Amino acid sequence: MSAYSVTEPSKASKWAAGLLVALYTIITLLPLVWIISTSFKTGPDSISYPPKVVFEPSLEGYVNLFTTRTRIAAEDFAALPPPETWYDRIVRDQGMVIAGQSRFGERFMNSVIIGFGSTFLSIFLGTLAAYAFSRFRVPLKDDLLFFILSTRMMPPIAVAIPIYLMYRELGLSDTHLGMILLYTAVNISLAVWLLKGFIDEIPREYEEAALIDGYTRFQAFRKVVLPQAATGIASTAIFCLIFAWNEYAFAVLLTSGNAQTAPPFIPTIIGVGGQDWPAVAAGATLFLLPVMIFTILLRKHLLRGITFGAVRK
Amino acid sequence: MAEIVIRNLRKEFGAFTAVQGSTFTIRDGEFFMLLGPSGCGKTTTLRMIAGLELPTSGQILIDGEDVSQKPASQRDIAMVFQMFALYPHMNVRKNIAYPLVSQGVPRAEVQRKVAEVARILRIDHLLDKGVGGLSGGDRQRVALGRAIVRNPKAFMMDEPLGALDAEFREIMAEELRALHDRMHATTVYVTHDQLEAMQMGDKIVVMNHGVVEQFGTPQDIYDHPATLFVADFIGSPAMNFLRFEGSAPAGAATVTLGDTPIALPELREAASGSLVLGVRPEHVALSDSAPLRARIEAVEYLGTTQIVTLSTPQGTIKARTPSTLPARPGDLTGLVLNASRLSLFDATTGRAFRTAANAGVNHG
Ligand SMILES: Nc1ncnc2c1ncn2[C@@H]1O[C@H](COP(=O)(O)OP(=O)(O)OP(=O)(O)O)[C@@H](O)[C@H]1O
Ligand SMILES: [Mg+2]
């Protein structure tokens, strides 16, 4: 036997690999750590030079993110009763008073509704279509599948102007429904193709066994195929959500008030009362959370699914 | 339990015909074998009976009712798949219980039946295990459990032993047959293994290229093959074929092979042209004085018997003789063919001529 083993890497190469991974992790996480730490700094701390790594955490950024504030005359300010709540106090410490609620909460909810709504719709339609393409003799199947894929070939933004005009005509501009439909249209080709791959991997015998055991086609689909396809559905859902959640160009073009999502809104925070970096960082941090939570929740499925069904049976 | 009648059953996949007009009857309680080489349409036939595939034409009657266009879920048939198709996301208990759940059987009753089936199949200790880690034989038993748990009208089994290794096949084959003898459930069993079919079946249908070649008991099929294909497919070593030109009128009891007259069962129809005389190895005896001359080419010792390979003017012949009889390669000898066990085929159509011996046998 030679001194080298195929299965067990040498100590040195293990160290090298570990170092490489650690370095990579630091490089990737650094911006994230920076954003999150900035979101907990006060205004002055956030722009101090040299930058503060150790600082006293403050919720100023988050309070500013959710409120609008004004300065009032010095004598009026002095005459105010003491602040009633913790967030009142934080605003008062900046020499201002709360004027009202900001629109961040609303925009964030829009993102949630549109992001998850379009993900659900893409997955729902995608699973049914993928099942049909996988299991039934559909006339012109190959041509249809290619057509579905081809909707993805042009960058969506290339058709932005026609869509803008069309949406204005149809009254879909700046509506939740309009954005859900748009993101679903973009995502569905990906969903159908990915899911078809996953469903193709599931042996037909499972459903046939259920059919023979007295279940209808739909019951067999729901009770046997869906649980088997869970991995595929989870990973496809994450892809769809990430696209819909992060989409910026269409959101800027098609939404302004009612259905505006978080991505076009966050940059506008910067203008509200000077350069409020902690508030921007707080907005960015909160914006990161849902996709992270969603991915972590589905991680168990994802880890199996990322191999695209290659290891089952 | 039920009788299944198949009438002119046909299945086309586009331009390709997988099953062309099968007709046979599976009697109540029979262990029925669908036998044939790969691609001959066995699985397609079975799937049509189960309702997983709809026939292009023809009828399937279960207990007299035409079910050929009914969905599988309404036929009350159970099936054991070649790869078992156990639901991977359920444990053994749930797998076995699943057919009962679809019928809305009360929980307590489900538990009772599952326990009973598990006891019969000796898998009680596995009930709460996942199906992923089971051995081939245990998977097979779970698949069987899922089939027998609800007392269906009939069982369909598609090469159920195909995924097991050789040693285990024997055991499971015996278990299956024992289970059948105990339950007397009508069973349709697909296999391409002629030995398995002969050992286990009450009746056999032999198929080739989507055509039913013969239908009957293992013994009838072995002794009186209806076609050259069946004669060649069944039995090991295969039946010997002696090809010759000749003719014989109806009522004749001999044919002339070269110059030698050979006795055979009395012909019920006239035969002429290119003919094939079929004789199983065990019906060939060696006798130095016999007029049909042959030369010993090889001897294969099998314990109590031996297979002697001989060359004759009509081609190579194998004989199965007791291994106590002396046979040395190179020796010249004579052949005696057991007259009552011979078959005569038409070389062009492959069909066996009707004789006094095979008259009562069902031609496919
Ligand atoms: N869905 C289908 N579409 C097209 N052709 C098919 C289909 N199913 C089966 N066939 C063809 O029909 C023929 C018979 O297939 P079938 O599965 O019944 O064979 P089989 O006798 O079970 O063979 P095996 O021993 O290999 O399982 C084969 O040539 C097969 O390719
Ligand atoms: Mg088959």
pLDDT tens-digit series, residues B287-309: 988 888 999 999 999 999 999 99
Sequence-separated (6 or more) residues with CB below 8 Å from residue A275: A47
pLDDT at position A272 is 53
- Please name the CATH architecture into which domain B238-346 falls: Beta Barrel (2.40)
Cα B253 to chain centroid, rounded = 31
Quick one: A196 and A257 in the same domain? yes
* Among candidates A216, A217, A224 on the partner chain, residue whose Cβ is nearest the Cβ of B87: A224
Q: Which residue has the higher pLDDT, B357 or A21?
A: A21
Cα distances (Å, whole numbers) of residue B109 to B116, B138, B143, B149, B277: 11, 24, 20, 11, 60
pLDDT at position B9 is 95
My answer on whether omega of the bond before B237 falls inside 30° of 0, hence cis, is yes
What is the domain count for chain A?
2
Distance CA B115, CA A15 (A): 55
Assess A205–B contact: CB distance below 8 Å, yes or no: yes
Judge whether A294 lies within some domain.
no
pLDDT at position B229 is 96
Assess A206–B contact: CB distance below 8 Å, yes or no: yes
Quick one: A200 and A277 in the same domain? no
Distance CA B215, CA B206 (A): 6
Quick one: A158 and A189 in the same domain? yes
Quick one: A96 and A117 in the same domain? no
With contact defined as beta carbons under 8 Å apart, do A109 and A290 qualify?
A: no
Quick one: A65 and A114 in the same domain? no
Q: Measured in angstroms, how far is the CA atom of residue B158 from the centroid of ligand 2?
A: 7
pLDDT at position A71 is 83
Quick one: A244 and A112 in the same domain? yes
Give mean pLDDT, residues B166-186: 86
Quick one: A217 and A277 in the same domain? no
Instruction: Using alpha carbons, select from B4, B30, B44 the residue that is nearest to residue B212.
Output: B44
For residue B10, report the phi and psi dihedrals to the nearest 5 degrees: -140, 140
pLDDT category of residue B205 using cuts at 50, 70 and 90 = very high
Give mean pLDDT, residues B222-243: 93
Which segments of chain B belong to CATH 2.40.50.140? Answer: 238-346
Judge whether A297 lies within some domain.
no
Judge whether A49 lies within some domain.
yes
Sequence-separated (6 or more) residues with CB below 8 Å from residue B187: B30, B31, B32, B154, B155, B156, B157, B180
Does pLDDT of B360 surpass 90? no
pLDDT at position A116 is 96
Q: Which residue has the higher pLDDT, A154 or B36?
A: B36
Residue of B nearest to A205 (CA): B85
Judge whether A298 lies within some domain.
no
pLDDT at position A309 is 38
With contact defined as beta carbons under 8 Å apart, do B211 and B20 qualify?
A: yes
Quick one: A78 and A133 in the same domain? no
Quick one: A95 and A232 in the same domain? no
Residue pairs between chains A and B whose CB atoms are closer than 8 Å: 58
pLDDT at position A308 is 42
Our answer on whether the CB atom of B43 is closer than 6 Å to any ligand 1 atom is yes
Q: Is the ipTM of this complex over 0.85?
A: no
Q: What's the half-sphere exposure (Cβ side, CA atoms, 13 Å) at B65?
A: 10
Judge whether A309 lies within some domain.
no
Give mean pLDDT, residues B2-24: 93
Q: In this complex, do B88 and A210 lie within 8 Å of one another by their Cβ atoms?
A: no
Which segments of chain B belong to CATH 3.40.50.300? Answer: 4-223
pLDDT at position B294 is 92
Residue of B nearest to A313 (CA): B88
| Other CB atoms within 10 Å distance of the CB of residue B333 | 19
Mapped onto helix, strand or coil, the DSSP state of residue B351 is strand
Quick one: tokens of B263? 């006795």
Judge whether A127 lies within some domain.
yes
With contact defined as beta carbons under 8 Å apart, do B202 and B53 qualify?
A: no
Quick one: A192 and A60 in the same domain? no
Distance CA A222, CA A225 (A): 6
Quick one: A188 and A55 in the same domain? no
With contact defined as beta carbons under 8 Å apart, do B346 and B274 qualify?
A: yes
pLDDT at position B362 is 55
Note down the domain range covering A240. 104-266
Give mean pLDDT, residues B88-108: 91
How do beta strands B31-35 and B203-208 pair? parallel
Quick one: A255 and A115 in the same domain? yes
- Average per-residue pLDDT for chain B: 91
pLDDT category of residue B321 using cuts at 50, 70 and 90 = very high
Residue of A nearest to B72 (CA): A212
**Of A293-302, B9-18, B104-113, which gets the smallest average pLDDT?**
A293-302
Chain B CB contacts of A213 under 8 Å are 73, 78, 98-99, 102, 146, 150
Judge whether A60 lies within some domain.
yes
CATH level 3 topology of B4-223: Rossmann fold (3.40.50)
Q: Which residues of chain A have pLDDT under 70?
A: 1-6, 271-274, 303-313
Judge whether A111 lies within some domain.
yes
pLDDT at position A10 is 83
Q: In this complex, do B73 and A227 lie within 8 Å of one another by their Cβ atoms?
A: no
**pLDDT > 90: what percent of chain B?**
67
